[in-house]
Amino acid sequence: MSGNTATREFPVATEHNRTTRDALLAPGRAARVLGLKRSEFDLAVHLGRIRTAPDDGGGGGRVTRDEIERIRSADGFPETLRAGIRTVGTTEGAALIEVTRARFTRLARLGLLVPVKFYLNRYRAVVWLYLADEVEQFARDERNVPLLKGRTPEGLRDQLAEGLDLRPRNWRGRYLGFLLRQAHDPWARAAAVASLLDGVEVAEVVSDPYERSHLHRFRPVRPSPGSSGSSGAQLAEEIMTAADPDEIEWLRADLADAVAAAREQRPAPRPDPRTVSAPARHEPPPSETEESGRLRGLLGRLWRRDPAA
């Protein structure tokens, strides 16, 4: 264990908002204090290993000094913390449990290994990452031995042949858990569920435009590799949007329940009817008025020319 990292003390703070015990640390500073890379810190937060608190200034999740001390006082810090957030790709994960890359991929497609992150490589191919600790736990379970050696059972082979791939769906489920842990408002919880649905699905569930607008205010920013509109961003958008009918169905049900709960606790704001003026009487545009006058004049002249008049 690295004694230097484990025993490092907080520097003396001179700012007023850091003089109290429960002062909030920005994510970057909290990561440095814990001896983590920023990506490691973000994953630890994602997994609930580091608890964050809302920032009253609107700066996103921050970390209290008490939380930092709780983590640093745990047995085996920082090695245990780092081991718990270590990720592996397909090649490293397969080597970890002594199976082929193809078998590892099959296990992941079947939903037996759940990805925790993904990114797009330079060829715009999706690279899934898994927690090394979870991969090792799967291999240690005696019930999984038949899946690690020999032929994959026939029923599972049939599902794979039909194109089954639960990696995106399982990642979405895990990501939703992260969003819900970070949501400190009932509308933010509803927005977390809505973020995994297509906009059309959201509009069908939340028919009130004022509620939809309020929901949009709390919508979490989706992680998007690449610039907006790029092929990478489009692919990430597909991964982050529910696709299976049963998944969509339960997300719609969860969204309806979440919006109902948010509405009961604090209805969405809407215009005060006392301040909304009555709509002005519609006046035809000048061109329309002039056209109507010319038409009446023409009809009048025709009427005067009628011999029967």
| Per-position DSSP letters for 103-143, written without gaps between them | HHHHHHHTTSS--SEEEE-TTS-EEEEEEHHHHHHHHH-GG
Domain span at 130 = 87-165
Is residue 160 one of the residues assigned to a domain? Answer: yes
User: Does 55 lie in the same domain as 93?
Assistant: no
Q: Give the mean pLDDT of 159-167.
A: 95
Last residue of a domain, one of 165, 188, 215: 165
Is residue 274 one of the residues assigned to a domain? Answer: no
Question: Nearest 5 degrees, angle CA 101-CA 102-CA 107?
Answer: 95
The total of structural domains in the chain comes to 3
Is residue 299 one of the residues assigned to a domain? Answer: no
User: Does 96 lie in the same domain as 144?
Assistant: yes
Last residue of a domain, one of 113, 146, 165: 165
Which pLDDT value is given to residue 232?
A: 78
Is residue 77 one of the residues assigned to a domain? Answer: yes
pLDDT at 280 over 80: no
How far is residue 45's CA from residue 62's CA, in Å, rounded to a whole number? 10
Is residue 135 one of the residues assigned to a domain? Answer: yes
Global pTM reads 0.77
Is residue 276 one of the residues assigned to a domain? Answer: no
Is residue 297 one of the residues assigned to a domain? Answer: no
**Cβ 1 vs Cβ 76: under 8 Å:** yes
Phi, psi of 117 (to 5 degrees): -150, 165
Is residue 125 one of the residues assigned to a domain? Answer: yes
Cα–Cα separations (whole angstroms), residue 34 to 8, 38, 182, 262, 271: 9, 10, 20, 36, 47
% of the chain surpassing 70 pLDDT: 77
Last residue of a domain, one of 58, 84, 110: 84
How far is residue 3's CA from residue 218's CA, in Å, rounded to a whole number? 42
Digit-coded pLDDT (tens) for 10-46: 444 444 444 444 588 999 999 999 999 999 999 999 9
